[in-house]
Structure formats: C-alpha cells, structure tokens
Amino acid sequence: MRQGFLALILAAGEGTRFKSNKIKVLHTLLGKSMLRYVLDCVLKLKPEKVFVVVGYQRKAVMEEALSDKVGFVVQKKQLGTAHAVLSAKDILAKRKDKDLLVINADLPLLKPQTLRPFLAFHQRKGNALTFLSAELENPTGFGRILRSGKKITRIVEEKDASPSERQIREINAGVYLFRVKDLFQVLSKVSNKNRKGEYYLTDTIEILLSQGKKVEVYRTSHPEEIMGINDRYELAKAAEILRRRKIKSLTESGVTVYDPATAWIETEVKVGRDTVVYSSVFLEGKTVIGQDCRLYPFVHIVDSKVGDRVKILSSTMIEESTIHDEAQVGPFSHLRPKSIVREGARIGNFVEMKNAVFGKKSKAGHLSYLGDCTVEEKVNIGAGTITCNYDGQKKYKTIIRKGAFIGSGTELVAPVEVGKNSYVGAGSTITKNVPPGALAVSRGKQVEKRGWSRKKKEK
C-alpha cells in the first residue's frame, strides 16, 4: 500500500453559467466560498501538500486559498480539465511515486468522511486511477460512465453523449486519484476533438486502459454530496443543504432551533449549549454566541461575539460588536461596528450604537444615539439622548463616568465629559464638561402667559 498523497484542486475556470463578474468558485454558500469548502475538506484528509490550479481572476482566488499547506499553479488559458492538470507538471515531476487527488473546486457538499474510504480503496488496490462515481436520479450535466459488461471503458460528457448514453445514471463526480507517474505519461495524449473543443481529464481513463493500467470506479453511497455547482440555482440548492446540515449539527450539540425552516446560521458560526434560536434569526460570518442565550425573531447578527445568558430581543441588528454575559439588547436596537456592551447592561427600543463602550449594568432603554463614546458602569441614559459626535468634518468623543444620570432628551455635544455620579437635567444641551457629583441643566427657562389661549381666540 502506498503512503501519503498530494492534492490538486481545479479552480481556474470562469464558470460562465453563473453570469457573474466574479469567478464561480468564489461565490459563497452560507458565508463561505465554494473553493474554501473544497479546500477545508481536502485539508482534513491531511495531504502532504495541496496545489490549487488558478487562472481566471487568479489574484482573488489565491487570496482566498492562502495558507502554508497550499501552493499554486497557473493555467493561463482555460483549455479544459486535462490541460489544467498539465499546468502542475513541473511541480509534480519530482513526486512521481506519489498519489494525486485531483478534485473540481465546485463540490462544496463533499465530506471528508466520504473521501477517506475512497482514498483507502485506491491505495489498497494500487490502481493507476480510481475515480469517484454516484448513481443519480437526474444525471443531466454530468459525465456518464460507459461500461462494457461490468468493466468501465470511458466517460462521455453530456454534450458528446448520444441519446442512449444520456440515459445512463452512473456519473463522474469530478474527484480522481491518480498515480502521478501514470497520469503524466497519458496527459499529453489527451486530444481536444470533442464538442467543447477542450482537453478532458476524463479521457485519461480510456488511454490508461488501453495501456493495460488498472482503472477502477469507487461509487459513493452519498450521491447528494457530489452535486457540482454550475449555476446560481444549484448554488441556492446546495446552500439549502448546507443550512440544514448546520442546524442539525447545532441541535445535536445542545442548541434549540424553533424553526429550522427559517433560521439562517452560517457555516462558521458557533452557538453554545442551551441557547434558543427563534424563527427568522440570521447569524452570519464569524459570529460566536455563548450558552443559554435567547435570540428572538428577526435578530440579525454579523461577525459579533455574544457572551452567556444574553437576551437579544426581536428585530435587532448587531454588526462587528461584542456583548458580554447577561446583557440584554433590543427590541429594535442597532449595534454598529465596534460596540461593546458589558455585563448585565441593557440596550432597549430604538437605540443605535456605534464605536461605543457601554459599561456594566448601565441602561439605555429608549430612542438614543450613542456614537464614539464611553459609558462607564451603572449609568442611566434617559430616553432620546443623543451624542452629537460629528461637526460635519470630524468625529469627537463623549465620556460618561460611572453612576451618572442623563435626563431624557439630552444632547451631548462632543468632545464632552460627564463626571462620576453627576446629573444632567432632562432636555439639556451639554457643551461643557460636567464635574463629578454636579447637576447640569441647560435649557430655556419656561414662561407662562396666563390667559394667552383665550385672548388668541378673541382676536
């Protein structure tokens, strides 16, 4: 049995059926690119090294795949899958005795558990080539596997297939294990005399067989995993499968999801035990949610960290922010990037925050804008408080010290500081620092004109 293998991911093609300005393999499913799924799957098999064939939009593709285990080869013109593999000729020349896993980059549903027995089978059999197949209800679009009796003879692509060949439901998944030295002595023999005018990697089968080399098919019993994504409808269908998988694995680890049909929880998101996710909750990017939290309907969280026992009430949006244990946010709050809500704090109805630190047990219950500010602990922010942080050119900071009480309808014109345990009277416009323990009031004096309304009517 041979030991160790290399991997080659084919990611140079544009993917014209996507009708996109962006290369197909960088389109995302559940917050992660197609290429990244394939790469992560391959890395789990622990190859000695992975190479990615890049071509179309190669800078962006290389950025996405960058890691120390990954090397790149450039395929300048995309002349077909065999031609793509040929671009790796030089780097593989030194590794002739190895096995090479060649895999299309448009297979985001494939699991390492499915590839492991395939790899073991190939190495045990000592084949020149083993490739992955599946039997599909609807094989449209795939290369069909032709046999004579039980023995495979070749693969015919959909476009080149006769009507009777199109009836065949056994298809080529686009995942191959080659012995490097056998692969390279047949690659240059592949021609492009077919309907697409491309050099097909699948043609190596027939050539290897003609040389008496051992070629076998390994059929997977998980056909849903080999769905190749060729257009945006297939992308949506695959994303739906990944979404269900994600919710299943979360529920298995102790998360309650009230409505799996409407919760959108992206692949990289982490959710702690005993947390309850209500209907239509969106958790995106690198979001981490702690234990025993409640995320009520229409909560939308992007790239944020939420501690334990936190409640996020309905229709709240949180972006690139941190919420510490036992805090409560919402309903209808908007936490914009760099907001930090400390332990036990409360942010309520229609409060917007941006680049703000909000201290332990402080409260801002209603209708406020808190931007570019530090609010220390046990502060009370009255309804309708506004930090006036912007003069049209620059942003300025507001500091509210521990225990301060900001009356309703206050405008804090930054830069400004409100001292420890001080009070600001309702309706004030604060333009100067308030010393600790003081009361600051700044509003027009009230006057009453008696009988004014009657006189007005008489006029």
The answer to whether 81 contacts ligand UD1 (rule: CB under 6 A) is yes
Query: In the set 80, 108, 403, 425, which binds ligand UD1 (CB under 6 A)?
Result: 80
**Helix H or strand E segment including 366:** strand 363-375
Task: Report CA 148 to chain centroid distance, whole Å.
Answer: 44
Q: Which of residues 3-42 bind Ca ion (CB under 5 A)?
A: none
Residue 228 C-beta: closest distance to Ca ion, Å: 4
Query: In the set 6, 7, 12, 440, which binds ligand UD1 (CB under 6 A)?
Result: 12
The answer to whether 13 contacts ligand UD1 (rule: CB under 6 A) is yes
Residue 10 C-beta: closest distance to ligand UD1, Å: 3
- Considering beta carbons, is residue 81 or 114 the nearer one to ligand UD1? 81
CB 284 within 8 A of CB 266: yes
Q: What is the DSSP string of 48-112?
A: SEEEEEEBTBHHHHHHHH-STTEEEEE-SS---HHHHHHTTHHHHHTTTTSEEEEEES--TT--H
Residue 219 C-beta: closest distance to Ca ion, Å: 19
> With CB under 6 A as the contact rule, which of the stretches 4-12, 129-137, 285-293, 352-360 interacts with ligand UD1?
4-12
Structure tokens at 373: 């500010």
The answer to whether 106 contacts Ca ion (rule: CB under 5 A) is yes
Residue 38 C-beta: closest distance to ligand UD1, Å: 8
> With CB under 6 A as the contact rule, which of the stretches 101-109, 117-125, 298-306, 398-406 interacts with ligand UD1?
101-109
- Considering beta carbons, is residue 230 or 408 the nearer one to ligand UD1? 230
Query: In the set 157, 182, 266, 411, which binds ligand UD1 (CB under 6 A)?
Result: 157
Q: What is the DSSP string of 378-443?
A: T-EE-TT-EEE-B-SS-B--EEE-TT-EE-TT-EEESSEEE-TT-EE-TT-EE-S-B-TT-EE---
Q: CA-to-CA distance for 187 and 207, rounded, in angstroms?
A: 9
Q: What share of the chain is helix, strand, coil (3-state, %, to 5)?
A: 25, 30, 45
Number of residues that bind Ca ion (CB under 5 A): 3
Bridge partners for 33 per DSSP: 28
The answer to whether 104 contacts ligand UD1 (rule: CB under 6 A) is yes
Residue 80 C-beta: closest distance to Ca ion, Å: 12
- Considering beta carbons, is residue 92 or 412 the nearer one to ligand UD1? 92
CB 153 within 8 A of CB 216: no
Q: CA-to-CA distance for 435 and 304, rounded, in angstroms?
A: 35
- Considering beta carbons, is residue 13 or 330 the nearer one to ligand UD1? 13
CB 72 within 8 A of CB 62: yes
The answer to whether 407 contacts Ca ion (rule: CB under 5 A) is no
- Considering beta carbons, is residue 9 or 312 the nearer one to ligand UD1? 9
- Considering beta carbons, is residue 143 or 403 the nearer one to Ca ion? 143
Sign of torsion, CA 122 123 127 129? Answer: positive
Sign of torsion, CA 29 33 36 42? Answer: positive
Instruction: Find the catalytic residue in 122, 324, 334, 366.
Output: 366
Number of CB atoms found within 10 A of residue 249's CB: 11
Q: Is 222 a residue of the active site?
A: no
Query: In the set 33, 75, 328, 428, which binds ligand UD1 (CB under 6 A)?
Result: 75
105 binds, among Ca ion, ligand UD1, none (CB under 5 to 8 A by kind): ligand UD1
Sign of torsion, CA 402 403 407 409? Answer: positive
Intra-chain end-to-end CA distance of the chain, in Å: 107
The answer to whether 108 contacts ligand UD1 (rule: CB under 6 A) is no
80 binds, among Ca ion, ligand UD1, none (CB under 5 to 8 A by kind): ligand UD1
**Helix H or strand E segment including 145:** strand 144-148
Query: In the set 55, 108, 228, 359, which binds Ca ion (CB under 5 A)?
Result: 228
Strand ranges for 250-291 from DSSP E: 256-257, 264-265, 270-271, 276-277, 282-284, 288-289
339 binds, among Ca ion, ligand UD1, none (CB under 5 to 8 A by kind): none
**Helix H or strand E segment including 371:** strand 363-375
Cα–Cα nearest to 299, from 328, 268, 278 = 278
172 binds, among ligand UD1, Ca ion, none (CB under 5 to 8 A by kind): ligand UD1
What is the contact mask toward ligand UD1 in residues 18 to 47, using x (rule: CB under 6 A)?
Answer: -------x----------------------
The answer to whether 287 contacts ligand UD1 (rule: CB under 6 A) is no
For 89, phi and psi rounded to 5 degrees?
-50, -50
Q: Return the active site residues.
A: 366
Task: State the residues that interact with ligand UD1 by CB under 6 A.
Answer: 10-13, 25, 53, 75, 78-81, 83-84, 104-106, 142-143, 155, 157, 171-174, 200-202, 228, 230
Task: State the residues that interact with Ca ion by CB under 5 A.
Answer: 106, 228, 230
